[in-house]
Amino acid sequence: MKSKTSDLQSFLNDLRNLRLIFFRRWPFAVLAFTLVTGLVGAYTYVKGVTYESSGKILLEREKSTASLVETEIGELTAIGGNDPMATEVEIVRSIPIVQQVVNVMDLRDDDGVLLKPENLVKKRLKIEKVRGTDLLKISFTSDSPDEAADFVNRLMAIYLQNAIVADRQKANELRQFVSQQLPQMALAVRQAEESLRRFQEANKLVNADTEAKLLTEGLDEIQRKSSATRIELNKAQARYATLQQQSGFTAEQAVTVDALSQSPGVSDVAEALQVAEKQLLLARNHYEELHPKVLDLKEQVAKLGALLDTRAAQVSGVQRSVTAVQTQVKGVRQDLLSELVKIQAIKVELERQSRSLEAERQHYEQKLQNLPRLQKTQRELQRRIEAAQATYATLLKKQQEIQVTANQQGSNGRIIEYAKASDKFLLKPIALKIILGILLGGMAAIGVVLLLELRDQSVKTVQEAKTLFNSTLLGVIPLVEKGGSSALLCSNIDPHDLRSPVNMLPHYPVGEAYRMLQSNLRFMHTDLRLKTLVVTSSIAGEGKSTTVANLATSMAQQGHRVLIIDADLRHPTQHLIWESSNLAGLSDLIIDSVDLRIAIKKELDNLHVLTAGAIPPEPSALLDSERMSALVERFAQTYDYVLIDTPPLLATSESRSLCKMADGVILTVRPRVLRRSSAIAAKELLEQINLAILGIVANGVTLKDEPHSYFHYDDKYYYRSPVSMQEKRPQPKKHTQTV
């Protein structure tokens, strides 16, 4: 299921990059295009020619008639702002009208069957608007010029006749509608007016805007009066407090004393009481308390006091004890008491006015709060009345206009130009058929290209390789060939230089590509030091050995001590790349038949190479041995990086053992060489041995075939001249060195 999903994704990617696919399959595409286009041209030649006739109709507006929405019955109108002419076009080309023309002209096919109007409308009838006018141009094509002209003239006549019938029917329908709606609209007007009247009576509201103005002015006046009243009340309260302090009486007491002092009966008794009290005081000074004279005076004082209380109660209406002094207030003090009584009365009146104004203010504020709601309701009722009245007036106006329209005999159009038989055949259908042939030829070419591309199972692009292996892309190595047309190449490059461009062509973009690979690998796992790396591929021919040599060179140029181990004991390559001896190498070290210092050779500064050595009868037994594992561990302690060149994963079993000895695995992939089936098998093999690769290196990539820009270069940063390259190219050192 996963393989089918990958196939579908690959197919979609190929569709998006049809231009690149066409470049690979262009001869087959040209053949298919030529064949299909030629067949369509031959069919066009055999089919024959056609004739076309045209007529014109003017669509007019009838100014004497109108409808309910201020448009004319017969006038070209549209709903929602659409073009009314487009509606008339659809009416003219409608199936019922075309069917009437077919029936009248008795149009039949070769078998004697009436022609279908759907086919005529779709293939032979054309109706278009004349730009900037109210004209419709009607055209019809036929093998006979007379038939084409007759068809157009009959179609225009039937359309106009149907328009007259439709206008009359519409007028009758509108007349019935208006007759039904007039009584209802009259009732609606009366009901709306009655609703407004009841609302105004219930809320005592004539005009909400005027009411709002009056309430606002009244509220301002109340607030002004309330402020003045509070000022006067504060003055009265202050004067009252002053008078109360000066007189020593409250307002109630002052009223009582003033009333008593004004009563003659109370004054006489009060004077007699004062005389008796004086006499009692003198008698006590001369006599004992039980003396008859003292007792008589005391009795007299008591009687006079009781009489004074009785008369005071009669005068003031309050039952209380009153002294003689209180009944005899004279002079300034009496004036103070009188003023105190007046101020008390004024204060009481001001307090009453203040409470009354406050209540009136609250009433006005409440009415102002309710006024917006009342205004909204009143406006809604008024709008209802206006809408009902406007509709009623419109109905009354249109009723007479509809009566006139129903009796009219004309239509909304007339024929301006009748169709005539033409003696010239049409070139446009022939041109359209040629264009159709070109389109079909293009589709056939695309189909052939897609078919061939789907049958080709090779991995074609870097993106496809990434998708298949679902792994990180560590680097992209562009294709470098002697005599190639790429901008990366130069015609006089030494073929040997192409094996190790990092060393031999350091100033070419391909060398920079390997250095970018080394940089990406170094920064990929910052928390894990990768010392032993296995570089392998799915099948042979993907450039893994070249990748090992150039990656090791890039690391050595960065100052790292690097060792290359050629572990491909079946087809060793490293000794060819470095032009070194292969008499002693890895196989000899494993069986301990050669000294380590002889087997390892120094090729460049910081770079040593351990070639494969003699080819053994059983390479897998040697590479899967404990001796091999011990050598790898020893080399990892001596060098900064150990790069192992292994056989392809699907070719032998040695790569699996070597991968488990390394810190990481790099998989080399070469587009156009690796097949999809091989890639899938290699991925499944890695999953079976539970081995995750660090990433893939796309090798030998043709940049112009890639839909994505994985590699960029600028002429200003590279030496393009072969002379400067030769001057700067480092020379390898061909001697062994003790490790």
Most confident of 173-177, 269-273, 339-343, 661-665: 661-665
Please name the helix (run of DSSP H) or strand (run of DSSP E) that holds residue 619, with its range, or none.
Answer: helix 619-623
Half-sphere exposure of 530 (CA within 13 A, CB side): 22
Residue ending a domain, choose from 326, 348, 365: 326
Q: Which residue has the higher pLDDT, 639 or 700?
A: 639
Residue type, 64: S
DSSP state of 675: B
Within 8 A by CB and 6+ apart from 308, the residues are: 266, 269, 270, 273, 322, 324, 327
Binning pLDDT at 50, 70 and 90, where does residue 239 land?
Answer: confident
Q: How far apart are alpha carbons 507 and 130 in whole angstroms? A: 69
What is the β-pairing status of strands 607-610 and 473-478?
Answer: unpaired
Q: What is the mean pLDDT of residues 360-371?
A: 76
What is the β-pairing status of strands 473-478 and 695-701?
Answer: parallel
* Range with the poorest average pLDDT among 24-28, 243-247, 405-409, 481-485: 481-485
> In the prediction, which pLDDT does 629 show?
93
> Residue 194: inside a domain, yes or no?
no
> In the prediction, which pLDDT does 562 show?
96
> Residue 148: inside a domain, yes or no?
yes
> In the prediction, which pLDDT does 734 show?
47
Residue ending a domain, choose from 278, 310, 326: 326
Q: How far apart are alpha carbons 422 and 469 in whole angstroms? A: 69
Please name the helix (run of DSSP H) or strand (run of DSSP E) that holds residue 734, with its range, or none.
Answer: none
First to last CA, the chain: 53
Binning pLDDT at 50, 70 and 90, where does residue 428 land?
Answer: low
Q: Specify whether 413 is located in the same domain as 473.
A: no
Helix axis angle, 264-286 to 292-316, nearest 10°: 160
* Range with the poorest average pLDDT among 74-83, 115-124, 588-597: 74-83
Q: Are 547 and 634 in contact (CB under 8 A)?
A: no
Q: Which residue has the higher pLDDT, 509 or 735?
A: 509
Binning pLDDT at 50, 70 and 90, where does residue 256 land?
Answer: low
Q: What is the CATH number of the domain that holds 570?
A: 3.40.50.300
Alpha-carbon dihedral sign for residues 241, 242, 245, 250: negative
92 CA to centre of own chain? 43
Q: Specify whether 417 is located in the same domain as 468.
A: no
> Residue 331: inside a domain, yes or no?
no
Binning pLDDT at 50, 70 and 90, where does residue 712 land?
Answer: low
Q: How far apart are alpha carbons 184 and 189 in whole angstroms? A: 9
Q: Are 192 and 423 in contact (CB under 8 A)?
A: no
Nearest to 155 by CA among 87, 60, 54, 74: 54
Q: Specify whether 429 is located in the same domain as 479.
A: no
Residue 609 pairs with which residues in a beta bridge? Answer: 564, 601
Q: Are 441 and 34 in contact (CB under 8 A)?
A: yes
Residue type, 649: L
Q: Which residue has the higher pLDDT, 56 or 59?
A: 56
Q: What is the mean pLDDT of residues 509-535?
A: 81
Q: How far apart are alpha carbons 671 and 539 in whole angstroms? A: 12
Q: How far apart are alpha carbons 337 and 329 in whole angstroms? A: 9
Residue percentage of the chain with pLDDT more than 90: 15
Within 8 A by CB and 6+ apart from 187, the residues are: none
Most confident of 69-83, 337-351, 443-457, 669-683: 669-683
Q: Are 454 and 92 in contact (CB under 8 A)?
A: no
Residue 670: φ, ψ to 5°: -120, 110
**Tokens 């309910």, located at residue:** 68
Helix axis angle, 251-261 to 208-247, nearest 10°: 60
Q: Which residue has the higher pLDDT, 199 or 406?
A: 199
Reading the block at residue 128, the tokens are 């278009």
**DSSP per-residue codes, 459-525:** --SHHHHHHHHT--EEEEEE---TT--STT--TT--GGGGT-HHHH-TTSHHHHHHHHHHHHHHHH-
> In the prediction, which pLDDT does 314 show?
66
> In the prediction, which pLDDT does 505 show?
60
> Residue 613: inside a domain, yes or no?
yes
Reading the block at residue 528, the tokens are 């894990």
Q: How far apart are alpha carbons 113 and 91 in whole angstroms? A: 25
Q: Specify whether 411 is located in the same domain as 506.
A: no
Residue type, 235: K
DSSP state of 53: E
Most confident of 115-129, 311-325, 351-365: 115-129
Q: Are 541 and 673 in contact (CB under 8 A)?
A: yes
**Residue 128 pLDDT > 80, yes or no?**
yes
Q: Specify whether 411 is located in the same domain as 478.
A: no
Residue 560: φ, ψ to 5°: -95, 145
> In the prediction, which pLDDT does 551 show?
92
Q: What's the total number of domains in the chain?
A: 3
Q: What is the mean pLDDT of residues 354-365?
A: 82
Containing domain of residue 488, as a range? Answer: 462-736
Nearest to 553 by CA among 572, 531, 577: 577
Residue percentage of the chain with pLDDT more than 70: 73
> In the prediction, which pLDDT does 568 show?
92
**Tokens 């003292």, located at residue:** 294
**Tokens 């005391």, located at residue:** 298
Q: How far apart are alpha carbons 188 and 385 in whole angstroms? A: 8
Reported in sequence order, the residue ranges of 336-382 that DSSP labels E, i.e. its strands, are none
Please write down the long-range contacts of 467-471, taking CB distance under 8 Å and 24 or more positions apart. Answer: 467/6, 467/9, 467/10, 467/13, 468/6, 468/676, 468/679, 468/680, 468/683, 469/667, 469/669, 469/679, 469/682, 469/683, 469/693, 469/696, 470/683, 471/667, 471/693, 471/695, 471/696
> In the prediction, which pLDDT does 407 show?
61
> In the prediction, which pLDDT does 491 show?
44
What is the β-pairing status of strands 641-645 and 562-566?
Answer: parallel
Q: How far apart are alpha carbons 567 and 648 in whole angstroms? A: 11
Q: Specify whether 408 is located in the same domain as 288.
A: no
> Residue 222: inside a domain, yes or no?
no
> Residue 192: inside a domain, yes or no?
no
Binning pLDDT at 50, 70 and 90, where does residue 8 land?
Answer: low
Q: How far apart are alpha carbons 229 and 180 in whole angstroms? A: 66
Q: Specify whether 615 is located in the same domain as 661.
A: yes
> CB neighbours (10 Å) of residue 688?
9
Q: Are 134 and 58 in contact (CB under 8 A)?
A: yes
> Residue 359: inside a domain, yes or no?
no
Greatest alpha-carbon pair distance for the chain in Å reads 173
Most confident of 28-37, 253-262, 723-732: 28-37
> Residue 363: inside a domain, yes or no?
no
Q: Are 677 and 456 in contact (CB under 8 A)?
A: no
Q: Which residue has the higher pLDDT, 125 or 402?
A: 125
> CB neighbours (10 Å) of residue 31?
13
Q: What is the mean pLDDT of residues 676-692?
A: 86
What is the pTM for the complete model shown? Answer: 0.45
Q: How far apart are alpha carbons 422 and 139 in whole angstroms? A: 12
Q: Specify whether 314 is located in the same domain as 430.
A: no
Q: Specify whether 655 is located in the same domain as 519.
A: yes
Residue type, 483: G
| Residue 217, burial from CB neighbour count under 10 angstroms (0-12, 13-18, 19+) | exposed
Is residue 557 left, alpha or beta, with left meaning phi > 0 and alpha meaning psi from -120 to 50? Answer: alpha
pLDDT in tens, 304-330: 777 777 766 666 555 555 454 444 444
Q: Specify whether 425 is located in the same domain as 491.
A: no
189 CA to centre of own chain? 49
Mean model confidence pLDDT for the chain: 77
Binning pLDDT at 50, 70 and 90, where does residue 206 land?
Answer: low
What is the β-pairing status of strands 413-417 and 51-59?
Answer: antiparallel
Q: What is the CATH number of the domain that holds 411?
A: 3.30.70.1130
pLDDT in tens, 166-198: 777 777 777 788 888 888 888 888 888 888 778
Q: Specify whether 535 is located in the same domain as 610.
A: yes
* Range with the poorest average pLDDT among 37-46, 433-442, 599-608: 37-46
Q: Specify whether 427 is located in the same domain as 515.
A: no
Residue ending a domain, choose from 272, 301, 326: 326
Reading the block at residue 45, the tokens are 């030649």
Q: How far apart are alpha carbons 140 and 153 in whole angstroms? A: 10
> In the prediction, which pLDDT does 725 show?
39
Q: How far apart are alpha carbons 590 and 625 in whole angstroms? A: 8
Binning pLDDT at 50, 70 and 90, where does residue 426 land?
Answer: low
> In the prediction, which pLDDT does 672 show?
83
Q: Which residue has the higher pLDDT, 63 or 235?
A: 235
